[in-house]
Structures are given as C-alpha cells and as structure tokens.
Chain A
Amino acid sequence: MQQLGLGFYVTDDYPTAVVFARVAARRLGGVPFVVNIYGHNFAQLTGQEVAPAWWWRIADDSPLITDFDYLTAQVVGYPDSRQIKFNPRAYHTLAAEISR
C-alpha cells in the first residue's frame, strides 16, 4: 500500500531514502540499496502537491494518477521528509544510475 497510490516513489533526501531502503529490505529480504533516479526534462513535467485528505486513498484511475506526471507530499510519519511519486505516464522520463 502506498501513500500516493500507484507509481514510482523517490525522495530528494538521502537519509530518508536509506530509511525506506532498510524497511524494504526487511519486508522483502536482501540488502538495502539506494540508487539515483533522474527525470529527463523534469521542469516540463506536470506535478501536483497532494493534500493529506487524499493520502492512502488514491484510486488507480484517479485524475491525480492520470492527469499528472508526478505527485508530491510529505512522507507521513517522517515530518521533515518529502516524496515525489512518478505516475506511470511519466515512467519514460526516468533513468536510474547505480553508483559503484
């Protein structure tokens, strides 16, 4: 289950990324690993800040999913952390960099 619904979640805060990598490793097994993600032409993508009233209840066919490239919100439970969630329609803009 995901706070902003269907999509690919990133954060611009490295410590937050580490926290979430650790949690994912607990749930799925394996070791935590953080990768850099780039959104090509990010400035041209359309984004929307999501109000708390919609957290945890965005349907897959919601306009928040279909009409925007990405959504932003606080990471609830981590008050100083922010998240960016790319909707499927923006996946083609994403590239991952795996550091050595």
Chain B
Amino acid sequence: MDYLLNEQQIMIRDLARKVADEKIRPVAAHYDETEEFAWDVMKAIADSDLFGVYIPEEYGGLGGGVLEMCLVAEEFSKACGAIALGFAGTGLGTMPILLSGSDEQKKKYLPDIARGKRLAAFCITEAEAGSDAGSIKTTAKKEGDHYILNGTKQWITNAGEAEIYTVIAITDKTKGARGASAFIVEKGTKGMEFGKKEKKLGIRASATREVIFTDCKIPAANLISKEGTGFIVAMKTFDSSRPGVAAQAVGIAQGALDHAISYSRTRVQFGQPISSFQAIQHMLADMATQTEAARALVYATARMVDSGAKSVAKESSMAKLFASDIAMRVTTDAVQIFGGYGYMREYPVEKYMRDAKITQIYEGTNQIQRNVIALNLIKENLKKK
C-alpha cells in the first residue's frame, strides 16, 4: 500500500529500517534473553537523529509529528518491540512537555531528548490506579518555591534508564480528577528511587520499574501547565501517544508475518513447501490484510493528530485497540504456521507473540479504549440532537 508519504517521511522510514535491520535485529534475541537494556542500540538511534523526528526544529528536532514517530516505532518494532520502547517510551514521557510544557521547559529538556542524550518516561500508573487513573495516591505538596512528592509509581517503562520523568501527582485531594497536576522530575533528584526491575512475559529488553518518591523536593518551575490540569495533560498525552503504541503493534505484526512468509516457503512437509498449501496461504492472506488495515488506521489517525484536530481521543483509541488486537492475532497465527518450531525460543516468532500481548494492555487496556470510543460515540450523538 502506498501511503503517499513525503520525501522526508520516506527518508525517516528508510533510515529507521536500516537501524532496525543492522542494529536491532541482530541483538533482539540476546536482549530478550538477558533482559538487559540495549544501550548500544540507543546510542545508534541517537547517532541517527531519529529520537528527534517528532520534536520541533526550534528545539533541536526534525519538526515532524506523530506520523513520523509512528513510522520509526513501527520499523523498530518489526525487529524488536521491546528495544523499540526505548524510543516509544521516551516519546510518551516527552509528550506532556511537548504538548503542555512552557517554552522554558521545552528549551530545557527537548533538545537533549531530540539528540538522544537523555531518555524520558511517563509515570501515572500506581498499584491501585491502573485503568482507574483517578485514584492515584502520589501527592505533591507546595512548599515555598518547591513541591514535595510522595508516593510510588508502578510499571514505569524506561524507569531507571531514563533521565527525565513526567509524573502525575495529586495536588488537591478535595478536587478529585481536577486535583491532579503534572511535574517534571529529573533522575538523581534526592528522594527519588527506583524499585527492582520487573520480570515480564514479553518486551523483556524494556526496563520496567517502580519509581518511588519519598519527600522528593522539586522546583516549582517543574510544574507542567497549571495545578489541577494533570489529567488534561495526561489525556492529551495519550491522544498523541496511543497511535505510537498502535504503530508498535503494527510493527510487531508485520515482523511476525515476514518471518511466517519466509518460513512457509522453506518448510517442507508432504514433499512440498507448506506455502503451497491453501490452509497456510489463507492464513497468510488474512494476516497481511489485517496488518495492512491496522497500518492504514494508524497512519490516518496520526495524520489527523498532526493536522491539529481538536478531538482525537476516539480515533487514537480506535487505532490502539484495533492494531493491538490484530498484533495479538497475527503473531499467534505466525507461531501456528511455524508449528512446533514456533513454540521454541530458538526461533524468532514466539517472542513477537509475547511482545504483542502488552500492546493490548498498556496505555489503557483495550477495554478502556472501548469505553473511550463508546463514550465519544454517545457524546457525538447527543450533540446531533
């Protein structure tokens, strides 16, 4: 499918593919096994300038948007959905600054992120606040020119490795959802610690840790936007970041599909390659069609976000929901086509299936995405009357 990308987008996609093929693919199995963070790959991504594709030129980036971020996330994820998160998780952590930060905050943090000098992470989830983000307990209390943070964030992607954290904390308990605020916390701040690294089913090369704040004192200037806008900042962030997760899912699906096609041509049973059997052909045809449909939805959504459209929550949720469900299905079928070999860790496809699962869960479970979509459908219908 030709998505009529412009010259710069094609350049970005082709370079991301090159980085994926030459720097990520050869080490994907290694880092999946060791669960280490792929700093050597991060360095290669930084050298390629790809960390800056979605950051405006005035802050040292390339001036692209969500579509450019998606192109890179997809290409990286074709090779490894986990290492891709060093890039995509940084995108998520950067969005609050990019979308809602002040000019000073942008000047202070974005150039380093664009250069890949520092990674970022977004902290909202807590033990008792997952889908119900409104029940977060982490507090931020203003004292003079500072805020004092207390609380524990959980399952934070890039935690420990990233240097810039955007954190949602409660500044006014009495105001419910309007009592949350967003802050920037730099690694190394006194009172900020990291929990042990989580052991996961998939995306094992991605670092997931607790971020613990104990009387963590940060300058008041690190408040993003105004007090009480924390959830608005978070929702705006998700509107722009969910297409990125969707792109990761498309990449994972495509990567598994590519493996399945190649394998089906070389695996001989009953005296012929299994690709000659209609049973396999139809599976491949469905996998390819579903993946392409997901890609089309993701790119269309990303373009809508980049156009500056006012409300994109429904579309972002649709892209994330559809692409991640497709990724799960396609990767499961890829394992099926590989048969017993597919189940073996020596072969590449079971990893895609493990990595795909998280895309249905994080940045809002797919059940939450359906809530968002349905809520918007009802709102739109109400307006018509």
A binds B: no
Q: B residues touching A (Cβ–Cβ < 8 Å)?
A: none
A residues with CB within 8 A of B:
none
